[in-house]
Amino acid sequence: MSKPSPSKTNRLNTETSPYLLQHAHNPVDWWPWNPESLQQARSQNKPILLSIGYSACHWCHVMAHESFEDEATAAIMNQHFINIKVDREERPDLDKIYQTAHQLINQRGGGWPLTLILTPNDHTPFFAGTYFPPQPRYGMPAFKELLVRVADFYQQHQHEMAQQHQAFVDAFAKMTAVPDPRVDVSDAPLHQARAELAANFDPAHAGFGKAPKFPHPTSLERLLRHWASSDQQDTAALQMLNATLSAMADGGLFDQLGGGFFRYSVDDQWMIPHFEKMLYDNGPLLALYADAFAATGKPMYRRVVEDTADWVLREMLSPAGGFYSSLDADSEGHEGKFYVWTVDELQALLSAEEYRVFAPRFGLDRPANFEGHWHLHGYLSTTELSQRLGLAETTVETLVLSARQRCLSAREQRPRPGRDDKILTAWNALMIKGLAVAGRSLQRADYIDAAQRGVDFIRQQLFINGRLCATYKDGQAKLMAYLDDYAFMLDALLESLQASWRSEDLEFAIALAECLLSHFADTTHGGFYFTAHDHEQLLHRPKPMSDEATPAGNAIAAFALQRLGLLLSEPRYLNAVEPTLRCAWDNIQHYPQAHAALLHALEEYLQPPTLIILRGDAQALPAWQAHYGHGYHPRRLCFALNRDIGNLPAALHSKAATKAAVVAYICQGMQCHAPISQWEPLPV
């Protein structure tokens, strides 16, 4: 296989995306997706080879090394196609459209790298696949041979492409939800989702379904909220939650040395992960474990929260306050190499006392579990080790902790996985929320401070002329933001405001809410489009309702707008919720488990949360906030405002402090109770 000269560059060398820059020295004449590249395809009547991936994607790296770095493959690509490379994290709009197209063409899900061939004029795909090898294997053709066949097909069948385009337009139209005005919104999907989660639960290893196993934090949050809404009577829901959170935290899905969760487990036991670490996983998991700690008081959950948050602040925090996107699965050309061990390494590193405890704790006394190496996976608890070894539990805990610290220090000397250091608004919002929730649950001011620094970064660097940008790197904010950017950020601001009130954060939240209504709302059928009204026109304009790796933007928009509407007594925000639920209702009824985030919004639509506004002296407010914030209360919002804060919206300005140290204003939905100045049980 011929390799390119490293001195050559293509048009990707001026991009900021680390993923695109990884391909800047390929012999492929890559273009970014922009008006110039699309015009080149039209003017030359060449089909577009669209390749979508991301920097932490293992098989993206494999295909790059095997094919895109190969001169012979590049020659075929350059001769027959306009080659466009897209970072799916920067352009989720394109990724959503063409992943759906892959599903329509192949009748199965896609993934990354995503490989499509599009017509030059209307960008309709007529071929779709994922990874292709350089020689025939895995039941797939060689990539070079495939390219020649597809190019020939295009030349011979151009007259059929118009029909293909209309077929896609019709198929996409059928996917767009249209509300049924006769429908009655009810709590039935909440109970149906609870039953589905139980039916899909793995009683042997916890989690849902079989390998590969994903964390699904939104589904797990549904179990926790269901338990809370049942007045804590649904102990089976809590048991499923605890079993899953414990299995994930004790297994190889969690980095037992450095903290943070990997992407997913390739087996049923949560033992061997796909080793990439994504910000968008760790933000929601951080919030979930913090909530679970508030609900149960389990020390394991506190440890997971602290280890994860500390990893984020140590490795993923930019000096300016934003959070980086991901860590690669690979290092030194091998997946997982940074994280795995040999027994000889660990025996040389640890004392005899440490190794005696550490080995049975993490399976070093068992056969290797990852390509002749050991990836740390918890087997015996400290109680079991104490009984087996005849040691006090505190001694076991101390030895495990010292061994972990010694191993982490040694691991830090290894060549590190690559880090994608672009800063994405939506993913930052998920982490900001996670840190704010963790800060409140664990009384950690440093986590709250980090959340607020993240808010400041987004507001100062990515909120330009009243609109958000989607991504930031090397001092440059760019690309119009998407629904998820606005909705997730609004939700994060409401959590940050509960952790520590700043009036400028409320002003930011209002601005984002106005953008959602002005630029994304479907005022005819309800719900919100993924792209703004003035966004580039693409083959399809999605309106996503179901959860994917992250919660559905429509769900979080409805959830957050409802909460902000209650806080400000703003009917325009409240009135956006029911049309969104009605728009998605058919899908919610048929697949409730796939719409867990929308079920959170539905729950609060049917049973509006309790709103508590505290006004008073700065010294007295924390005790009141701790009193009403103690435990897990998902449908309770508590905001603490110093008595001297001014320039508040009318709904908050009216809740002034009296001579009492603190006054609490408590409302249940639209019904408010008399202010109180002494702690009392909540009237709801």
Task: Tell whether 467 and 496 lie within a shared domain.
Answer: yes
pLDDT at 4 over 60: no
Task: Tell whether 437 and 543 lie within a shared domain.
Answer: yes
| Rounded Cα distance, 642 and 666, in Å | 17
pLDDT band at 7 (very low <50, low <70, confident <90, very high): low
Is 296 a member of any domain?
Answer: no
pLDDT score, position 126? 94
Number of domains within the chain: 4
pLDDT at 308 over 70: yes
At 506 the three-state DSSP class reads: helix
pLDDT score, position 565? 97
pLDDT at 647 over 90: no
pLDDT at 574 over 90: yes
Task: Tell whether 580 and 642 lie within a shared domain.
Answer: no
CB neighbours of residue 592 within 10 Å: 23
pLDDT score, position 1? 45
pLDDT score, position 3? 47
- Tell me which DSSP letter residue 425 carries: H
Considering the chain, what is the average pLDDT of its residues? 95
pLDDT at 5 over 70: no
Tens-digit pLDDT profile for residues 152-188: 999 999 888 878 888 888 898 888 777 877 788 999 9
The DSSP line for 263-325 is SEESSTTS-SEE--EEHHHHHHHHHHHHHHHHHH--HHHHHHHHHHHHHIIIIIB-TTS-B--
pLDDT at 683 over 80: no
Task: Tell whether 554 and 477 lie within a shared domain.
Answer: yes
Average pLDDT over residues 487-499: 98
pLDDT score, position 178? 75
Last residue of a domain, one of 383, 413, 443: 413
Task: Tell whether 532 and 647 lie within a shared domain.
Answer: no
Tens-digit pLDDT profile for residues 61-95: 999 999 999 999 999 999 999 999 999 999 999 99
pLDDT score, position 164? 85
Is 295 a member of any domain?
Answer: no
pLDDT score, position 161? 82
Task: Tell whether 506 and 653 lie within a shared domain.
Answer: no
Task: Tell whether 561 and 541 lie within a shared domain.
Answer: yes
pLDDT score, position 159? 82
Average pLDDT over residues 544-561: 97
pLDDT score, position 138? 80
Task: Tell whether 585 and 648 lie within a shared domain.
Answer: no
Is 287 a member of any domain?
Answer: no
Is 376 a member of any domain?
Answer: yes
Average pLDDT over residues 12-27: 97
Tens-digit pLDDT profile for residues 390-414: 999 999 999 999 999 999 999 999 9
Task: Tell whether 586 and 521 lie within a shared domain.
Answer: yes
Average pLDDT over residues 465-476: 97
CATH code at position 15? 3.40.30.10
pLDDT band at 139 (very low <50, low <70, confident <90, very high): confident
Task: Tell whether 77 and 138 lie within a shared domain.
Answer: yes
Task: Tell whether 597 and 616 lie within a shared domain.
Answer: no
Beta bridge partners of 254: 261
Is 6 a member of any domain?
Answer: no
pLDDT at 39 over 50: yes
CB neighbours of residue 326 within 10 Å: 29
pLDDT score, position 684? 46
Is 286 a member of any domain?
Answer: no
pLDDT at 664 over 80: yes
Least reliable range by pLDDT among 273-287, 477-491, 530-544, 664-678: 664-678
Last residue of a domain, one of 152, 175, 198: 175
Is 63 a member of any domain?
Answer: yes
The boundaries of the domain holding residue 642 are 610-672
Task: Tell whether 562 and 630 lie within a shared domain.
Answer: no
- The better pLDDT of the pair 531, 175 is held by 531
CATH code at position 366? 1.10.10.10
Is 276 a member of any domain?
Answer: no
| Rounded Cα distance, 516 and 576, in Å | 10
